[in-house]
Structure 1
């Protein structure tokens, strides 16, 4: 299992948390959102998904991953 923390701009509310967590969950990973820190910590299995796919899923929800 891999853990990575991504800086994500544009998150500000509970809807944002649900959107990001839901998108990441669909990839078989688990996201923990830190609204105050503008960050998302993701735990994922490299055999099931990639970091690039996770970033794309978050960006598809309308957020900027740095």
Structure 2
């Protein structure tokens, strides 16, 4: 399953890496990417979208599923 999140607050590659690290720490995620140009993150796996949003928010960014 693919889940796309809107992520606000990313401005560079380091921001993207922080978001990806946060997402990959969620149970059920098999892979994740983030793109500050499009303010989005894409996640593969069967993780609960709410858990994904919470992980990104805890990393300091504003996410919405």
Superposition RMSD on alpha carbons, in Å?
1.2
Q: What whole-Å deviation, never above 9, does each CA across 1:13-34 have from its counterpart, x for those lacking one?
A: 1111111111111124121111
1:43 corresponds to 2:41? no
- TM-score where L is the length of structure 2: 0.83
Structure 1: 5+ residue runs without aligned partners? none
How far apart in 2 are the matches of 1:16 and 1:57? 14
Aligned residues: 62
Cα distance in 2 for residues equivalent to 1:4 and 1:27: 13
Point out the structure with max Rg over C-alpha: 1
For structure 2, the 5+ residue unaligned runs are none
Runs of 4+ residues over 4 Å off in structure 1: none
